[in-house]
Structure 1
Amino acid sequence: MFIDTHLHLIDQSRLAYPWLSGAGDLNRDFTYAEYAREARRLGIEAALHMEVDVATSDIEAETEMVRDLAEASGNTIRGVIAACRPEEVGFPDYLEKCEADSFVKGLRRVLHVVADDISERALFRDNLKRLAGSRLTFDICMLARQQPLALALIDSAPAVRFVLDHCGVPDIVSGHFDGWKRGISEIAKRPNVTAKVSGIVAYADPQTWTVDAIRPYAEHIVAAFGWDRVVWGSDWPVCTRGGGLSTWVGATQAIFGSCTPEEREKLYRANAERIWNL
């Protein structure tokens, strides 16, 4: 059984998504019903909704939309990783609201869609340090070329619990494995970072990728971070660009099928249950 730590839902009738206009096949609604129909068949027992970079004015409305869904009978959503803007002066008040809301399990600011220096600004880092000692995690979503920025951000807030999304977003198509591997190994030395094995099929060649093409990335993440600091996520619907949810679950099972039941249990569900108190 899986806990999906990275589910995106899109409802353009309720929220604005400025980035969708240039997102090609992702520019449509992706509903919980569509996800759940497939997820249940795959043994996905629970999910965390990951913010979808909605318009800043809709950040809190996104959490409320997901909460409404989660309250329906039979829904498997157990909480949200909410969007945030640590670069803004209003962040402390927003953080206080999030800490008081048990449905919010963590925060994320997508950092590859803004200027590289955003995460280096004093206000951003001072605000992020406010998460130290709280129950909230902070997801880092940066491209492989931004590994030095990710490392600097982590080192600026050693008491904050970070989650590195999508195996650090490797550029699998380019084949630049060794540089990515060195950067991941360095990040993994920081004990306050957990890595998410999620959706990397979207970063491989959509027509020709095989399990052997993505295996080194998934296996190195586990080798670097260890079985107690990895979680699994679908990155649905972005994973549809690499074959879809069933394909990604199948690839996951092919990569980790020879591991012990205890190891798979940690990656697939137990670590997520512990980290976010699910």
Structure 2
Amino acid sequence: MFIDTHLHIIDRQALRYPWLAGVPPLDRDFLYRQYAQEAQRVGIKAALHMEVDVAPEAIGAETDYIRGLSAEPGNLIVGAISSCRPEEADFPAFLERCKADPFVKGFRRVLHVMPDELSEQALFRENVKLLDGSGLTFDLCVLPHQIPRAAALADLAAGTQFVLDHCGVPAIAAGDPHPWRENIAEIASRPNVVAKISGVVAYADAETWKIETLAPYVEHVIDCFGWDRVVWGSDWPVCTLGGGLSTWVAATHALFAGASEDERRKLYSENARKLWKLSLPA
């Protein structure tokens, strides 16, 4: 059974997603009911919704929309990772509101499509420091060359748990493990960073990838972080670019067939349950 730590819902009738216009395969609705039917068939028992980089004025509305979905009987969603803007002066007030909302489990500021310098701005860094003591996590979605900047953010708030999304977005299709490989080892030396084994099929060649294509990247992350500092995520619907949810779950089972039952349990659900303090049946 899986806890999916990286689910995106796209509902263009409810919210505005400016970036979708530049990604035609994803520029349509991907609704909860589509996800849930497939997720339940492949053994996903709970999910955290990951922000979808909505228009800035809709950040609160996105959380409220997902909260409404989660209230429906039998819904799999147990919390939300909210978008945020640490580069803005009103972040401290936003943080206080989120700390008072038990549905919000953490934050993410998309960085892989932003200038490298964004995370080095003084205000951004001061606001990240405010996360210490909040109990909220911070997801890091960065390109391989940006991983050292992500590590620098983790150093600013040693009491905050950071989550490196998508194995650090390795260039699998290009077959280029550098500087990703070295940078993964470096960021893994921070005890307050965990890695998310999520949706890496989207970074492989959709027509030609095999388990053997993914294995060296996933195994390197496990080797660097260890079984106690990894969580699993689908990255649905982005994973549809590399085969889809069922394909990624099947690949996961194949990739970790040689792991022990205890190791798989930690990756698939237990580490996430502990990290986000999720009250779910064992």
Give your verdict on TM over 0.5: yes
Query: What letter is aligned with 1:28?
Result: R
AA aligned to 2:223 is: A
- 2:262 aligns with 262
Q: Which residue of 2 aligns with 1:230?
A: 230
Secondary structure at the counterpart of residue 4 of structure 1: strand
Counterparts of 1:1-278 in structure 2 under 5 Å?
1-278=1-278
Q: Are 1:231 and 1:268, in contact at CA under 8 Å, matched by a contact in 2?
A: yes
**Which segment is superposed worse, 151-160 or 241-250?**
151-160
| 2-structure distance, mates of 1:91, 1:113 | 20
Q: SS state of the match for residue 131, structure 1?
A: coil
| C-alpha contact 2:6 2:234 (8 A) present in aligned 1 | yes
Report the Cα distance in structure 2 between the residues aligned to 1:132 and 1:148, rounded to whole angstroms: 20
Distance 2:122 2:201 in 1: 35
For each residue in 1:48-70, what CA deviation from the matched residue of structure 2 results, as whole angstroms up to 9, or x when unmatched? Answer: 00000000000000000000000
How far off its partner does 1:33 sit?
0.3
The 2-side partners of 1:22 and 1:178 are apart by 27
Answer whether contact 1:125 1:157 (CA < 8 A) is retained: no
What is the letter of the counterpart of residue 262 of structure 1? D
Any stretches of 5+ residues in structure 1 without a counterpart? none
Task: Kindly provide the CA deviation profile for residues 166-211 of structure 1, in whole angstroms up to 9, marking residues without a partner as x.
Answer: 0001111111114311110110000000100000000000110011
Partners of 2:118 and 2:169 in 1: how far apart? 19
Amino acid at match of 1:221: V
User: Residue 59 of structure 2: SS of its match in structure 1?
Assistant: helix
How far 1:157 moved relative to its partner? 2.5
CA distance in 2, matches of 1:85, 1:153: 14
Structure 2: state its 5+ residue gaps: none
Q: Which consecutive segments of 4 or more residues in structure 1 shift more than 6 A?
A: none
- Cα RMSD for the two superposed structures: 0.8
TM-score normalised over the length of structure 1: 0.98
Identity %: 60
Residue 214 of structure 2 aligns with an amino acid whose one-letter code is I
Give TM-score scaled by structure 2 length. Answer: 0.97
Q: Secondary structure at the match of 2:94?
A: helix
Amino acid in structure 1 at the alignment position of 2:182: R
How far, CA to CA, are the matches of 1:196 and 1:48 in structure 2?
13
Q: Number of aligned pairs?
A: 278
Mapped contact 1:10–1:52 kept (Cα < 8 A): yes
